[in-house]
Structure 1
Amino acid sequence: MGNVKIKLFANVREKAGISQAEYNAETVIDLLSILVTDYPAVKDLIFENGQQEIRGYINIFVNGNNIHHLERTETRLSDGDEVAIFPPVSGG
């Protein structure tokens, strides 16, 4: 378990009212559970139907690596890791 920095972007940041925070968490799912407990407004943006399944359009990176290329939500976190949450972003 480590002290992990989480960075929020776009509408996730807007709903939470913060751009980053630090938590102690063992895995990505642990970190997300803590985040949605502290900031319930982001739960429906991140999870499908209030469950522990991440919405398909949410991208989560640990130290720049997409969790889909790691162990998904069971990706283990270490002290000093940085987790970034990106919802879909569009523009023109």
Structure 2
Amino acid sequence: MLIKFLAFASFREILGKERKLDVNEGATVKEVLAILASSCTGFKVAAFEDSDELMDYVLLMINNKRIESPRDLSRSLHEGDELAIFPPVAGG
């Protein structure tokens, strides 16, 4: 199944702005993030702890609705879903 993946700010520099991912039917958010981390070590270093857990500050959205990590990482994705990932954003 195809999903759309969007990356923002520093994650965009690492992964690119947008890409279509062909994943297994019923793939979870955690599985998709693992696929991205295995294909791009820069993303793995920027977004994951040494224990392979997603860093607390990483923000995720599915279809423009924020999800909570780690609770919602087991959420299954569906054909056409849009997964967005944001690094921490600070302003002043």
TM-score normalised according to structure 2 size: 0.84
The one of 18, 21, 27 aligned to 1:20? 18
2:60 maps to 60
2:34 maps to 33
Alpha-carbon contact 1:5-1:80 (below 8 Å) kept: yes
1:47 maps to 48
Distance 1:43 1:50 in 2: 11
TM-score normalised according to structure 1 size: 0.84
Alpha-carbon contact 1:43-1:50 (below 8 Å) kept: no
| Unpaired runs of at least 5, structure 1 | none
Distance 1:58 1:45 in 2: 9
Number of residue equivalences:
88
Distance 2:41 2:51 in 1: 10
1:10 maps to 9
**RMSD, aligned CA:** 1.7
Q: Deviations 1:6-38 (Å, cap 9, x if unpaired)?
A: 10011111123x111111241101111111122
Flag the structure with higher helix content: 1
| Unpaired runs of at least 5, structure 2 | none
Q: 1:11 to 1:42 in 2, by over 3 A?
A: same
- Aligned to 1:35, the other structure's residue is in SS state helix
